Structure 1
């Protein structure tokens, strides 16, 4: 049964930096190719990553892969700072800037293209959000404009039947994406303060999280695990298996 199409594919080469929209990519066993594959370790909290929770301005740093996806190594990651400086991942100037602004000592970690551990994204392999749910949340949030990027999904799904929160009826079911990929929808995504951070300005508005807590039991979006890997592209059909 056809449920919709991929409207946008978003991956985050650097954990907690702004994601990049891509027209096509591979779905690996861990999720989108290179998603959250580069990260900063917070030396104040051994074994933990530095994220938007500790340093909200991370959302204003853009990160993109600048070459072809290969399995032996990642393409170079280009970083654009809030001030417009263009740096590369691994540049000592980037590390110094993040340390100075966050007031924390950090170290860099980079995972393999064939194995980004689940711990790097903290939950399941993929995070899905639907267009109808985003639109409904606008109404629930006193008609404030809702930018889906606040929720940092991997796939924004354009539904055939515009039914808000229908994705919550997919738990335990499989979705086929395009000709190759299959995923299993697992559970709710429980939200945190990250959704309060504006993806452009990094300014916070706590009322969005309060709305999601009060009117959605703190649920928005769903997590899925990868069953069959392959390639996907914007416009691909998504069907309930």
Structure 2
């Protein structure tokens, strides 16, 4: 059954930085190629991942791959700062800037194209959000437009039938994306303070999280596990399988 198509396809080369919109992506066993494959570590917290929770302005730093994608090695990763400066993600000047702003000692970590572990980098392979659910949340909140980037999904789906939160009914079922890829919906995405941070200016508004807790039991979007790998593209049809 046709349920919609991919409206936006987003990957985050560096954990907690703003992601890049891509027209196509290879789906690996762990999810989108290169998604959260690089990360900054907070050495003041025994090497835990540095995230928006500790350093809100991370949402204003944008990460992107530059160059040919390979199964042996990732392309170069560039970071664009809020001021528009472009650095290699490991550049000492960039690290120093982020250390000064966050008041933390920062180191780096990266994985390989063949292995990005589930757990420390992400809860599951893929996170998806639908347009109807976003519109309904906007109505529930009643304050301003809700940018879907707050929820950091990989797939932003435009539904054929605009039924809010229908994706929660897919949990336990499989969907097919395009001609090759199949994923199984495995659970709700329980939210944290990160959704309160505006991706454009890094300002916080706790009321969005409060509304989501009250009205949706703190869930928004669903996680999926990869069943069949392959290539997907923006505008690919999505079918719910029997």
Q: How far is the alpha carbon of 1:235 from its aligned partner?
A: 0.5
**Aligned equivalent of 1:179:** 179
Measured on the aligned residues, the alpha-carbon RMSD in Å equals: 0.9
Gaps in structure 1 of 5+ consecutive residues: none
Q: Secondary structure at the match of 2:27?
A: strand
Distance 1:224 1:89 in 2: 29
Q: How far is the alpha carbon of 1:46 from its aligned partner?
A: 2.2
Establish whether residue 237 from structure 1 lines up as the match of residue 237 from structure 2: yes
**Aligned equivalent of 1:106:** 106
Q: How far is the alpha carbon of 1:119 from its aligned partner?
A: 2.5
Q: Deviations over 1:105-145 (max 9, x none)?
A: 11100100110111343300000000000001110001521
Residues 64-73 or 128-137, more deviating = 64-73
**Runs of 4+ in structure 1 displaced over 6 angstroms?**
none
Distance 1:47 1:95 in 2: 15
Gaps in structure 2 of 5+ consecutive residues: none
Distance 2:160 2:173 in 1: 18
Residues 44-53 or 227-236, more deviating = 44-53
**Aligned equivalent of 2:26:** 26
Q: After the TM superposition, which residues 190-229 of structure 1 pair with which residues of structure 2 at under 5 Å, given as runs?
A: 190-229=190-229
Q: Contact 1:38–1:108 (CA<8 Å) still a contact in 2?
A: yes
**Aligned equivalent of 1:160:** 160
**Aligned equivalent of 2:129:** 129
Q: How far is the alpha carbon of 1:47 from its aligned partner?
A: 4.3
Q: Secondary structure at the match of 2:93?
A: helix
Q: Secondary structure at the match of 1:9?
A: strand
Distance 1:177 1:47 in 2: 37
Distance 2:133 2:200 in 1: 21
TM-score, normalised on structure 2?
Answer: 0.98
Q: Contact 1:60–1:199 (CA<8 Å) still a contact in 2?
A: yes
**Aligned equivalent of 2:2:** 2
TM-score, normalised on structure 1?
Answer: 0.98
